Structure 1
Amino acid sequence: MLRKLSLALAVSCATNGMAWAAEPPLSVRTDLVSVYQEAVNNNADLAAARADYGARKEVVPQARAGLLPNLSAGAEMMNSRTKIDHPSITANRSGNSWQATLAQPIFRADRWFQLQAAEAVNEQAALELSATEQNLILQSAENYFAVLRAQDTLASTKAEEAAFKRQLDQSNERFDVGLSDKTDVLQSQASYDTARANRIVAQRQVDDAFEALVTLTNRDYNSVQGIVHTLPVQVPTPNDAKAWVETAAKQNLNLQATNYAVNAAEETLRQRKAGHAPTVDAVARYQKGDNDSLGFSNPNLTGQNYRGDVEQTSIGLQLNIPIYSGGLTSSQVREAYQRLSQSEQQRESLRRQVVENTRNLHRAVNTDVEQVQARKQSIISNQSALEATEIGYQVGTRNIVDVLDAQRQLYTSVRDYNNTRYDYILDNLRLKQAAGTLSPQDLNDLGRYLKPDYNPDKDFLPPDLAKAAQANFERP
């Protein structure tokens, strides 16, 4: 009797009977945490975000400088000639002088509000950097599991190609002994050719996934550790969408950053309004030079031509009252009002988006939990359906198209199962990111379920299903 085209047979043919690329040595396999650490050290986007934060936090000392003393010094060399409208009367003056001025703001409301705005901008920048760092955790996981997803897809595609190759061989054997017509051979050949083309595409997708890791970390990888099928698949804790939304409203990093953006806009509005307020500065000035350069005059020295060195020292308060500046201050106030409204609306838009994402991801994780079990059962059901279809084909109640369709359904269910597993892992991480609780510890927790000797060609199926399929195949 012809052997059944069971999943175990296809896997055996794909891993042993065909010359695929050899597995790299165990020592070079990379784990998830190592990929993340390399990303932290080498990711260009993170480095750019850190540089941006380093630049933006300088607004605080710059704003504070407007409230601190200002000391300046200068010197002057002067040579002037005065000619009176008389041929014999001319006057020449020349001299050198230097001066130092110390100014201390006493009342500068605009600068005080500018400092408050700068501190809010600094907090906003720090939170945005933290959000970028947190996003790198998710990005590392997404790229890592994209490799595993692509490898498992390639493994199932190899097994599918092997199954169709086996079907093609059987069709040729049946045709040679007159048990089937040429149509069966052509149908089997078409399915095999399609599976071969799909395997080539799947191989390219594996290479693309590894290339994305290179872009993320600036390191080359040729093998990563796989996730075991015993990874617990559990609903979120707590399994309450409202609780997750409340946590996100308090801890989502991007949402917290927009709160500081609104604070900065409010302080900037106060700063612009303060442009109408008077200012008071304490000013101390010291000058020294000859009388020609300083233009020193003293009623007690009338009639005397004094040309010696002169020192002048002054200290006092300067009051400045803005009256009219061409409408500049009023325009700046109107602009600040609009900027404040803009930042408030952007915060509200982000809040709604965070709420939506959190609820959607909570539902997604619960759906993934149910789907993992359903997809696993689907493999068993499709395996049984394939075996029944093969028996029907052998006794003449089914045709070759039914067998080929059953095989496609089987390998589609295998790929759906693995995709759902990876969706479950990533949706969990995305939910935690939306809630603002995602941390490197989540990657460490996942690392406990990585298999150092993971071989996609053998391990893309759950061990219990693989053993069941193998036992079924070995039955007489």
Structure 2
Amino acid sequence: MKLKLGRTVGSVVALAAALAMQGVDVGADTLYAAMEKAYVTNPTLNAARAGQRAVDELVPQALSGWRPTIGVGGEINRITGSQSAEIPVEDGVEDVLITNSATAGSLAIELNQPVFSGFKTVEGTKAAEARVDAGRQGLLESEQQVLFNVVQAYMDVYAGRQIVVLRKQDVAALQTQVKAANERFAVGEITRTDVAQAEARLAESQSALVDAQTKLARDVAFYIQMVGNEPGKLSYPKIAKLPKSMQSALDAAGEINPRLLAQAFVEVAAKSDVGVARSGLLPSAGLTAAATVDDPDLGEDDNGQQTALIGASFSMPLYEAGLVYSQVREAKQRASQRRIEVIEIARDVRKAVVQSWNAYVGLGQIIKNTRTQVRAAQLALDGVQQEYEAGTRTTLDVLDAQRELVFAQVLQVTAEKNRVVAGYQLLASVGQLTAGHVGLKVPIYNPEENYRQVRGKWLGTDANTIE
């Protein structure tokens, strides 16, 4: 036990060290490189793959209903008995206790081969296969979610760094403004009110900088969680190829959206579950072969008895207290529920596609507007500063113009970030935010490989696990 505990502690320490080392790397500079690393190393995605491998086992478990079962049983008993008896002696008889003992044993082997089980195995296999297909679509959904989280984290860090720079520039500009205000106040050109206004605006800008730095720290932590290393020097990414129109996006989503397809396969499985429940009302039949060896006195004589039998069995349920009928009705209601959920998810997918498409298109126009806003705000600030120096503008006018410029710059950075995120959100809503469709340069995980290995497997406990 001590050795086992030591190994466990050692594993935990090694895992902690590995996790600590992951946060030290400064890795991907491009969005695609970040997604590629997450596709290979993200624990959420690898756990989903391991879960799908477990779902694959539902099929061989269902197919086991066709296969024979073989069992061996045996027992050994030590039998001890005693009885009293009278033994003649010279002067009469003497009571004595006679003890007898024997060792008896038996060995039996039995084979049972199902022949018919009311279509339970047939329907159970169909249900298992449908659940495997649903699991594969669920795995694609997990893949999309992880890759989208990487996009979100990447763009949050990229934009957050730019906003921190803008906030620092704003603080520096306002510090210069406060210094200039104090100098002009000293020579009587402005009042104490002007100085107070500059100082108040500086304090506001410093608070905004702290908020931006705090948010950036959170975004960096999320990036490390998704990708596995700290972000390096990030660059503004190109958006992957998008559908040409909203209608083409809707058409594609109806065909390949993994969430919608997963629910469709769940409905197929639910329909087969009705047949599994109904099998309890149908007859079943099987074959049996058995051999038995009984020895009443092991090793003492050859009085052992050997028997062998081959037989067939048949059973037909007549009334099961209403239990099976209720189970069939329940299965039908579940199938109805799953069918309605397909419609619900189809509507939800359509809503997501429409929303993400309009968000992407709208943000394109917003970016144009913010660029115009930034240029105009910069010109306005330059003009107000010149007029301030000429004595026709107040300190508050300069402060307001500076605020409007920073506000416009932050809007532009935010809109540019949101447009990339909206583009990849559109891909995800359609079902195209996958490594294969996006074109990530990684070995594409194929869930069918494990399925083919285990589907017809009769023996063995070895499993190709994902670490």
Which category of TM-score, normalised to the shorter sequence, fits these structures?
A: 0.7 to 0.9
Which amino acid letter does the alignment assign opposite residue 255 of structure 1?
A: L
Judged with a 3 Å threshold, the aligned counterparts in structure 2 of structure 1 residues 367 and 318 are, in CA distance, closer, same or farther, namely: same
Which amino acid letter does the alignment assign opposite residue 274 of structure 1?
A: S
1:47 is aligned to: 46
Q: Report the identity percentage.
A: 25
**Secondary structure of 2:189 counterpart:** coil
1:271 is aligned to: 276
- CA offset at residue 423 of structure 1? 0.8
- CA offset at residue 196 of structure 1? 1.4
Q: Deviations over 1:35-56 (max 9, x none)?
A: 3333234323223222222222
Q: Does structure 1 retain, via aligned residues, the 8 Å contact 2:76–2:104?
A: yes
- CA offset at residue 222 of structure 1? 5.5
**Secondary structure of 1:244 counterpart:** helix
Instruction: Tell me which of 347, 363, 366 is aligned to 2:358.
Output: 363
Which amino acid letter does the alignment assign opposite residue 207 of structure 1?
A: A
- CA offset at residue 392 of structure 1? 3.5
CA distance in 2, matches of 1:81, 1:330: 53
CA distance in 2, matches of 1:399, 1:377: 25
Q: How many residues align?
A: 396
Judged with a 3 Å threshold, the aligned counterparts in structure 2 of structure 1 residues 338 and 242 are, in CA distance, closer, same or farther, namely: same
- The question of 1:123 aligning with 2:133 is answered yes
- CA offset at residue 410 of structure 1? 0.7
1:12 is aligned to: none
Give the alignment's TM-score, normalised by structure 1.
Answer: 0.76
Which amino acid letter does the alignment assign opposite residue 431 of structure 1?
A: L
Correspondence list, 1:27-42, <5 A: 30-42=29-41
1:96 is aligned to: 105
Instruction: Tell me which of 205, 214, 221 is aligned to 2:215.
Output: 205
Which amino acid letter does the alignment assign opposite residue 136 of structure 1?
A: V
CA distance in 1, matches of 2:347, 2:193: 58
Judged with a 3 Å threshold, the aligned counterparts in structure 2 of structure 1 residues 343 and 237 are, in CA distance, closer, same or farther, namely: closer
Correspondence list, 1:76-475, <5 A: 76-77=75-76, 95-108=104-117, 109-219=119-229, 221=230, 223-227=232-236, 236-239=242-245, 241-290=246-295, 308-440=303-435
CA distance in 1, matches of 2:292, 2:435: 62
- CA offset at residue 66 of structure 1? 1.3
Give the root-mean-square deviation of aligned CA atoms: 3.0
CA distance in 2, matches of 1:275, 1:310: 39
Judged with a 3 Å threshold, the aligned counterparts in structure 2 of structure 1 residues 132 and 417 are, in CA distance, closer, same or farther, namely: same
Which amino acid letter does the alignment assign opposite residue 425 of structure 2?
A: R
**Secondary structure of 2:114 counterpart:** strand
CA distance in 1, matches of 2:173, 2:30: 32
Which amino acid letter does the alignment assign opposite residue 344 of structure 1?
A: R
Q: Deviations over 1:134-154 (max 9, x none)?
A: 221111111111111110110
- CA offset at residue 338 of structure 1? 2.7
Structure 1: gaps spanning 5 or more residues:
1-26, 83-91, 294-305, 447-476
Structure 2: gaps spanning 5 or more residues:
1-25, 82-100, 442-467
1:13 is aligned to: none
- CA offset at residue 248 of structure 1? 0.6
1:14 is aligned to: none
- The question of 1:66 aligning with 2:73 is answered no
CA distance in 1, matches of 2:295, 2:271: 52
CA distance in 1, matches of 2:302, 2:28: 88
Which amino acid letter does the alignment assign opposite residue 211 of structure 1?
A: A
CA distance in 2, matches of 1:249, 1:63: 31
Judged with a 3 Å threshold, the aligned counterparts in structure 2 of structure 1 residues 93 and 323 are, in CA distance, closer, same or farther, namely: farther
Q: Does structure 1 retain, via aligned residues, the 8 Å contact 2:374–2:408?
A: yes
Q: Deviations over 1:178-226 (max 9, x none)?
A: 222111111111111111121122222222221112222343x263322
Judged with a 3 Å threshold, the aligned counterparts in structure 2 of structure 1 residues 444 and 403 are, in CA distance, closer, same or farther, namely: farther
Which amino acid letter does the alignment assign opposite residue 383 of structure 2?
A: A
2:464 is aligned to: none
2:465 is aligned to: none
Judged with a 3 Å threshold, the aligned counterparts in structure 2 of structure 1 residues 441 and 217 are, in CA distance, closer, same or farther, namely: same
- CA offset at residue 157 of structure 1? 0.6
